[in-house]
A and B are shown apart, each in its own frame.
Chain A
């Protein structure tokens, strides 16, 4: 599907359908989305997390996290269970129940911690949830329409795909769903209701692709997906990164996701702090020897 013509304004075009899309960045373009011509290419965005501390019910979970994610970059965040990875994701998104006790989070200089969740999203932040919540009776198209229709899309904000390639929103949605292997009937279902784990993750990716955030936090996007699903989802996100500059913070336990996502950096969160950072090789070594091997750092 899709127009075989490729985006002309981008060097290093590769075929997204080819296996192992790990071409050098920047410039892995997306044959499937060629018609879009990436009118909304993102660049120059930066999410800065500085000395972030947060607690839940009086217990400190994040004890000073520092991370910087820029456009076109993929950062992997790994760490043992209970190290605070999901807490970080929700604190970034502004979920209630978390108390920020110190530090700062900015997106392009905007103080996210002072904004309600929906404004953080409008500012360009997206969270693909580990456990996407069922919203009975609300269909994905209606939610995306509400998300796109509210205005407030600043230069750094979400560039929800409405105008792309002259296609209607629903046409774009159907096309995206096709790319992600989501059967059309699933689009008729309420958000996440009666979806399998894998279907939910494809749905999260679909929303990411439609909403076009500047920075996406992926909280275990790989869990629930089978191998094929993982390849499709990670490949699609990779295209967003390489093709149009999405910045990614990917929380995961598994290096397999990173084989496709190709992180620029891997960070290890233990006890609410980033205890180690490195290149993709760090993920591989963790895969082999576990977090114990970081004993010194911890």
Chain B
């Protein structure tokens, strides 16, 4: 057994180690270090830029800007001005920005980021979605008519940033229809809440979906992740630049049986098309950073099921009628998926090139006393996206969380999941599946943090890597002083499907209490030879036998998805990705 280790966080001490004269190589040339005055990058000359190259010196960071997208560089405080909202939210962002501005960017030497390609990230290459004018408040607190949106907000509106069109919304609706009867449909784009519809019988329970842009004061649970120890530059970046917080609130005692679907449209996954100063058509590379945020609060004794989907869209790229998304079409659809061209794939090889979109996501789940939450997350962003997500959950006395995450998309997907069991007898079942093909990196960091007595957590993460893909699972069980009688289990299985693929699995235990039961197990290896032999002895050729075994591996997990249609969606995605032959 390894010595107990602390769940790593980026601390001030660790930061000091890197604040020497040598700047990390991923910083843009010319950018000042954390100790130097801000701003770190040359400022942008006002909002009415014509298409031009700017940014930091050196070609690798150059970006083209366009007058329709006068987005300031994300490093600058001035970009906050473009993010509207109530005073508390503006203040919150400014405070986070202060911390963000001095927080060092991590590199692979940080324990929390080891094995990751984080050092390849060039933040200077991104723009932020500002959202333009603040949208109308999107409260949905009134009971809605049957099947009618309570308050359709901004549906199909052209936004200052995301330009989510009718077809993106209708694609999200198509996704919704495949998941089946819903209590609510929530669509958010990089600028915030786009649409919130609450249906009967969900509306009768008092279920609310709120955009914080219209909230006079912050939702009670907002910022919970910080209290649970989530920190670091991306957490601060997120809080500084997130234009909106989508808040789902389930009242005390309410039982919302149908799923609440939250679709985050992230992107763009492809270049955008605009018009130059003389009216000429321009292809503009927009590398957009977005900060999807979801806060789920379950009142005492309530129950609900939330599905959060991260899907790509193509900015204001003409959709051409066929492919509503710039990246892979989620969930089959009627159209063939648009696989990025070879050069795009190469450019994101194991993070060696620059991602074309960056999503820094935060999901906070507040599961109050005696309540029960099913949380299902599906990430199918395009092959050119980076996805840095935090899932933070707090499970109170007698409450239970069942969490299911599937990560299939993105060049680099990192999901950091902190599950704090704070109350007596709180329980969490944490499931995840991931598949990396081509050059993808799937990266999971988990903390099962037992505060309360008699708490229980059971984690099962299963993943597979093919092609030249990599996966990282780094998980810690922490049993705090006082958490006597706790049960904690952690299991991670990895299938390595090709010579060029690689998986790391690092389980940790940190136990500060007696009278607890903990175990962890992890496996990394190729497909079981005996299983292959068995299937081949039935006349199944090896590649097909492998596909069956891999599909079976995932279906064992998918069968446990709290929302069965999402489990089927996972299987379709797995089949499609394996069918590409990229695993051979």
List residues of A whose CB falls within 8 A of some B CB: 93, 95-96, 116-118, 121-122, 126-127, 129, 132-138, 142-144, 146-147, 150, 152, 158, 160, 190-191, 207, 211
Contact = CB atoms under 8 A, between A and B. Distances in A.
Contacts of A116: 536, 542
B534 A118 contact: no
B537 A138 contact: no
Given A135-B535, A190-B556, A118 B551 contact: no
Contacts of A127: 537
Contacts of B540: 118, 121, 143, 146-147, 150
A202 to B, nearest CB: 16
Contacts of A121: 536-540
A95 B534 CA distance: 9
A146 B529 contact: no
Given A136-B556, A137-B553, A137-B556, A146 B544 contact: yes
Contacts of B533: 95-96, 117, 133
16 contacts: A96-B529, A121-B539, A133-B530, A133-B531, A135-B531, A135-B548, A135-B552, A137-B549, A137-B553, A138-B535, A143-B535, A143-B540, A144-B538, A146-B535, A150-B539, A158-B539
Given A133-B530, A135-B531, A146-B545, A117 B552 contact: no
A155 to B, nearest CB: 15
B548 A138 contact: yes
A177 to B, nearest CB: 16
B533 to A, nearest CB: 6
Interface in B362-410: none
Contacts of B537: 93, 117-118, 121, 126-127, 129
A211 B537 CA distance: 11
A116 B537 CA distance: 9
A224 to B, nearest CB: 16
Contacts of B141: none
- State the majority secondary structure of interface residues on B: helix
A135 B549 contact: yes
A152 B538 CA distance: 13
B539 A118 contact: yes
A93 B536 CA distance: 9
A132 B545 contact: no
Given A118-B541, A150-B544, 17 more contacts: A96-B529, A96-B533, A116-B536, A117-B537, A118-B539, A121-B539, A126-B537, A132-B534, A133-B534, A135-B531, A136-B553, A137-B553, A142-B548, A146-B545, A150-B539, A150-B540, A158-B539
A95 to B, nearest CB: 6
Contacts of A135: 531, 534-535, 548-549, 552
A160 to B, nearest CB: 8
Contacts of B111: none
Contacts of B529: 96
A147 to B, nearest CB: 4
B347 interface: no
Nearest to A192: B534
Nearest to A117: B536
A137 B551 contact: yes
Contacts of A152: 539
A10 B582 CA distance: 51
Contacts of A150: 539-541, 544
B228 to A, nearest CB: 34
B98 to A, nearest CB: 50
A117 B529 CA distance: 12
A160 B530 CA distance: 23
Nearest to B550: A137
Contacts of A117: 533, 536-537
B510 interface: no
B554 interface: yes
A133 B410 CA distance: 35
Considering residues B540, B551, B555, which has the most beta carbons from chain A within 10 angstroms of its beta carbon? B540
Interface in B481-535: 529-531, 533-535
A143 B548 contact: yes
A136 B536 contact: no
A137 B537 CA distance: 18
Contacts of B553: 136-137
List 3 A-B pairs, minimum CB-CB distance, nearest first.
A137-B552, A121-B539, A138-B552
A121 B531 CA distance: 15
B539 A211 contact: yes
Interface in B243-294: none
B460 to A, nearest CB: 13
B479 to A, nearest CB: 30
Contacts of B551: 137-138
B515 to A, nearest CB: 32
A190 B553 CA distance: 10
B548 A146 contact: yes
A118 B532 CA distance: 10
Given A137-B552, A138-B548, A138-B549, A147 B530 contact: no
Contacts of A143: 535, 538, 540, 548
A190 B15 CA distance: 50
Contacts of A191: 534
Contact of B555 (A122, A134, A137): A137
A175 B354 CA distance: 57
Considering residues A121, A127, A132, A190, which has the most beta carbons from chain B within 10 angstroms of its beta carbon? A121
B129 to A, nearest CB: 40
Nearest to B530: A133
Contacts of B536: 116-118, 121
A61 to B, nearest CB: 18
A292 B582 CA distance: 58
Contacts of A133: 530-531, 533-534
Contact of B552 (A96, A122, A129, A136): A136
A121 B541 CA distance: 10
A147 B539 contact: yes
A132 B538 CA distance: 12
A221 to B, nearest CB: 14
A135 B545 CA distance: 10
A137 to B, nearest CB: 3
Interface in B426-453: none
Considering residues B548, B553, B554, which has the most beta carbons from chain A within 10 angstroms of its beta carbon? B548
Interface in B46-85: none
A190 B535 CA distance: 12
A97 B544 CA distance: 22
Contacts of B556: 136-137, 190
A150 B541 CA distance: 8
Contacts of B538: 121, 126, 143-144, 146-147, 207, 211
Nearest to A191: B534
Nearest to A137: B552
A193 to B, nearest CB: 9
A18 to B, nearest CB: 31
Nearest to B538: A147
Contacts of A95: 533
A193 B552 CA distance: 12
Nearest to A208: B538
Contacts of A207: 538
Contacts of A137: 549, 551-556
B519 to A, nearest CB: 20
A118 B531 contact: no
A146 B540 CA distance: 6
Contacts of A136: 552-553, 556
A45 to B, nearest CB: 16
